[in-house]
Amino acid sequence: MKYLIKDCKIIDKQSKLNGKRVDILIEKGKISDIRKGIKDEKAKSIKGKNLCASVGWMDIGTHLGEPGYEHRETFESLANAALSGGYTDLATMPQSLPAIQSKAQIKNLISAGKSNGIEIHPLGALSNDLKGENITEFVDMHHGGAVGFTDGLKTVEKGGLLLRALQYVKSFDGVILHHPNDKSLSNEDLIHEGAVSTSMGMKGSPSLAEELTVYRDVQLNSYAESKLCIHLVSTSEAVTIIKSQKKKDAKISAGVSYLNLIKIDEDLATFDTNLKVKPLLRTAKDKRSLQKGLADDTLDYISSNHMPLETEKKHLEFPYATHGAIGLETAFAALNSFTTKNLELATLIDKLTTGPRNVLNIDTPTIEVGEMAKLTIFDPSATWTYEQSDVMSTSRNSPFIGHTFTGKVIATINKDKVYLNP
C-alpha cells in the first residue's frame, strides 16, 4: 500500500525542509519521494486543510497495563491510544505486575510493541520489585534493549541507592530517570499546598517536597559524574535549579507532564479525581515557569504521563482515588489548544520528538527520501471532540472526556503501520 500525504508543512528543526510545504510519498514503510505536486493514483492520499508533518512522537513514562493489569490496558489498546495520539515510540514505565526487571521481560515488551505497530523502548526497574532497596540487573537489561532505569513515579528515598544506580549505569553510558518528591513532606500528595488546599481543608504537599529532592538528585549526579533525567517536575523552583545545574553538568535532563502545562490546583476546586495526578497540579506561576523552561530548553521533553486506571480506582471520594490519568490521546490536542500563546508549535513538536529521544540516547529519524517512514501528520487548526466512545485506551480516566480541542492528529505512520484517525 502506498500513501501520499498532500501539501503538508514539515515541522522538524533538524531537517533542511523545515517549514516547507511538500507532498510526501510513503511506500513499503519508507519515504520514497518528497517534493511539491507528487501525483500517484495508486496511492491512498492523506489530505487536510492545514496539514503538518513531523517525526513520529515519542513519550517517556507511559504506564503499561500488561502484564498484570490487562483490565486497565492491553498492548493492543495501548498501541491504538498511542497511534491515535500521534505517538510512534513509547518509553514505558516498569510498574507492571510483576515489575519489569529482567532481560526476558524487556525483550518481551519490545516484541509486543512491534506486533502492535508501535515501538516500545522499555525502562527497567531501578530497584528490585521497586522497593527502593537494591539495584536491578542494569547491564543485562541494557543488553536486552532497556533504554534507562527508573522506579517510575516512586521516588527513591535513599540517596545512597540513587548514587549506586547512577554509578552503575556509567559502564554502558546508561541513564537513570528519577521522579523527585520527598514523601515525608508531601502529605500523601493529595493536593499542592497553597491557598487552594487551605480553602479545601486538605493538607497540601509543599513545592519544597519536589525542590529538595531535585537539589539532592543533581548533586548526586554531579558527584557520580553520570547521566540523570529528572522525570516530571512541577515547580518553578525545580526549573530554576535545573537551569542553573545544566550550565555545570551537561548530563542532566528533565521532563514535564503535559497536564502541568495546562491545569493548575484551582482546577481541583470541584474535587475532580481525574485531575488527581502525580506530579501535583501546582499554581499558575509554576505552570508559566514550566512553559518557559521548555522554551529555553531547561526542560527537554513533554510526557503524556499516561496512566490507565479502572473506574473503581477513580470514581471515588477524592482522598481515596488513585493518582493518574490517561494522556496519550489528548496530550498534543490539549497542548495545542491551551499553550500556544506561550509556546510555539515548533517547540512543542521538538519536545515530543527530538527532546525525549536525546534524553534516552535514541537516534531521531529524519524526514528524507530513502529513510524509514516514522511520521506524525497533524492539523493544528482542526477541531474535534474527545467523546467517551472514541477513547482508545481500555481505561477512561481522562479529565478531557467531552472536551472540544483545536489541533488533531490525522495520521501516525510507523514504518509499514499506517494509522488513520477517523
Q: Which is nearer to another protein, 312 or 368 (CB)?
A: 312
Any residues with CB less than 8 A from the CB of 147 and at least 6 apart, and which?
Answer: 91, 121, 122, 123, 175, 360, 361, 362
Give the chain's count of helices (H) and strands (E). 12, 16
Of these, 225, 315, 361, 404, which contacts another protein (CB under 8 A)? 315
Of these, 44, 170, 203, 285, which contacts another protein (CB under 8 A)? 203
Under DSSP, is residue 87 helix (H, G, I), strand (E, B) or coil?
Answer: strand
State the greatest distance between any 2 C-alpha atoms of the chain, in Å, as a whole number: 64
363 binds another protein (CB under 8 A): no
Q: Which is nearer to another protein, 270 or 389 (CB)?
A: 270
Of these, 152, 180, 194, 365, which contacts another protein (CB under 8 A)? 194
Number of residues that bind another protein (CB under 8 A): 21
All three cell numbers of 226, joined, read 553520570
Amino acid (1-letter code) at residue 190: L
Are 28 and 3 spatial neighbours (Cβ–Cβ below 8 Å)?
Answer: no
Beta strands in 51-198 (DSSP E): 52-55, 57-62, 87-92, 119-125, 148-150, 176-178
285 binds another protein (CB under 8 A): no
| Region from 83-91, 144-152, 312-320, 396-404 binding another protein, contact rule CB under 8 A | 312-320
Q: Compose the 320-359 pattern: x for residues touching another protein by CB under 8 A, - for all others.
A: x---------------------------------------
Amino acid (1-letter code) at residue 111: S
Report CA 363 to chain centroid distance, whole Å: 17
Are 14 and 354 spatial neighbours (Cβ–Cβ below 8 Å)?
Answer: yes
Q: Which is nearer to another protein, 155 or 273 (CB)?
A: 273
Q: Which is nearer to another protein, 117 or 206 (CB)?
A: 206
197 binds another protein (CB under 8 A): yes
Q: Compose the 232-271 pattern: x for residues touching another protein by CB under 8 A, - for all others.
A: --------------------------------------xx
Amino acid (1-letter code) at residue 355: G
Q: Which is nearer to another protein, 27 or 272 (CB)?
A: 272
Q: Shortest gap between Cβ of 71 and another protein (angstroms)?
A: 17
Q: Which is nearer to another protein, 158 or 203 (CB)?
A: 203
| Region from 79-87, 226-234, 313-321, 336-344 binding another protein, contact rule CB under 8 A | 313-321
Q: Which is nearer to another protein, 38 or 200 (CB)?
A: 200
The set of long-range contacts for 345-348, using a CB threshold of 8 Å and a minimum separation of 24, is 345/11, 345/52, 345/380, 346/11, 346/13, 347/294, 347/295, 348/294, 348/302
Which positions lie near another protein, rule CB under 8 A?
A: 193-195, 197-204, 206, 270-271, 312, 315-320
